């Protein structure tokens, strides 16, 4: 059966990193893992060889796969495919898109359309040194502390990328408060920008339109509810989840599952059930 270990940490980075998960698996059957779209950027420091991935299963397993020991993923609207080998280990971070300038040195919009990016191209060579030091540590708490310190120092030294426009930061916060159910018209009035201007500056910063970001946030809440239900040993009531998270009906939730996971809810749950029970989806982060 193999073994799986997932360890979560409180990032303590002033909300710039939403979640930090250490993982280690061994004795697994090699497979493809879907890296699902979410309202957060993904950063992975591998502690056990390079990560191979791509926009399609064929790319992820083929000669043109992106292979990197530090992976960065922008906001996207379809799954990235990552090869899960027999054994792997690493730390995965969910980075708030409004913190991309401080932590990555560029706006999240600069990564638009890039499902899998080599981390060294974003962080620079210092990140490779940090990764090697992470590999040399035995305890998860020491690894998390080292990575948090590295990111904190990057944020303190950040100045080249400039600040996020306050209207964009407030627009993202407003969408989050409404759990992705607010209207673009309401958002436009809230930040005192026309819908056209708001969409332009929002997309430049994040790589998504406000409507696309709202859909991702709503789906994230729905997926979290489904995962919690399965982790508790209950079958997911998709109709109730759809109603509770602001979907018009059950079929609209199924449509979003198809787009964001590349599978129906039933198929995705069947593929991820063991990971869910092991704690890989404890907060709905992927």
> pLDDT digit string (tens) for 266-277?
888 888 766 665
Secondary structure of residue 179 in the 3-state scheme: coil
Which ranges of the chain have pLDDT less than 50?
283-286
Predicted local distance difference test score (pLDDT) of residue 158: 79
Predicted local distance difference test score (pLDDT) of residue 103: 95
Phi, psi of 33 (to 5 degrees): -110, 140
> pLDDT digit string (tens) for 89-100?
999 999 999 999
- The answer to whether the 3-157 and 212-278 domains have the same CATH topology is no
Ordered strands of the 3-9 beta sheet = 3-9, 17-26, 88-95, 41-46, 70-73, 117-118
Computed on alpha carbons and rounded to an integer, the radius of gyration of the chain in Å comes to 19
Predicted local distance difference test score (pLDDT) of residue 215: 96
Query: What is the CATH number assigned to the segment(s) 3-157?
Result: 2.60.120.10
Predicted local distance difference test score (pLDDT) of residue 125: 87
DSSP E strand stretches across 164-257:
none
User: 110 with 84: CB under 8 angstroms?
Assistant: no
Q: Domains of the chain: which residue ranges?
A: 3-157, 166-207, 212-278
Predicted local distance difference test score (pLDDT) of residue 230: 81
CA atoms within 13 A on the CB side of 117: 22
Secondary structure of residue 285 in the 3-state scheme: coil
Predicted local distance difference test score (pLDDT) of residue 13: 93
| CATH 3.40.1350 fits domain 212-278 | no
Predicted local distance difference test score (pLDDT) of residue 285: 45
Structure tokens at 222: 């729905």
Predicted local distance difference test score (pLDDT) of residue 272: 77
Contacts of 183 (CB under 8 A, 6+ apart): none
């Amino acid at each position: 059966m193999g073994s799986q270990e997932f360890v979560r940490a409180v990032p303590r980075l002033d909300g710039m990193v939403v979640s930090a998960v250490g993982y280690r698996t061994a004795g697994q059957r090699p497979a493809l893992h879907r890296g699902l779209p979410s309202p957060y950027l993904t950063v992975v420091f591998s502690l056990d060889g390079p990560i191979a991935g791509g926009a399609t299963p064929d790319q992820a397993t083929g000669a043109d796969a992106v292979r990197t020991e530090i992976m960065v993923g922008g906001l996207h609207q379809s799954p990235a495919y990552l090869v899960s080998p027999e054994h792997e280990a690493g730390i995965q971070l969910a980075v708030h898109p409004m913190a991309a300038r401080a932590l990555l040195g560029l706006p999240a919009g600069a990564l638009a359309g890039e499902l899998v990016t080599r981390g060294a191209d974003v962080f620079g060579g210092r990140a490779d040194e940090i990764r090697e030091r992470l590999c040399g540590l035995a305890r998860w708490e020491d690894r998390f502390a080292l990575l948090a310190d590295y990111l904190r120092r990057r944020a303190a030294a950040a100045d080249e990328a400039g600040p996020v426009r306050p209207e964009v930061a407030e627009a993202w916060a407003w969408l989050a408060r409404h759990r992705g159910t607010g209207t673009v018209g309401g958002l436009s009035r809230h930040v005192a920008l026309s819908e056209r201007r708001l969409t332009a500056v929002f997309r430049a910063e994040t790589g998504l339109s406000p409507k696309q970001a709202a859909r991702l946030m709503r789906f994230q809440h729905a997926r979290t509810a489904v995962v919690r239900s399965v982790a508790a040993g209950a079958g997911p009531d998709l109709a109730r989840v759809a109603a509770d998270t602001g979907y018009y009906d059950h079929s609209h939730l199924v449509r979003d599952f198809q787009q964001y996971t590349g599978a129906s809810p039933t198929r995705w749950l069947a593929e991820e059930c063991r990971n869910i029970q092991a704690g890989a989806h404890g907060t709905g982060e992927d």
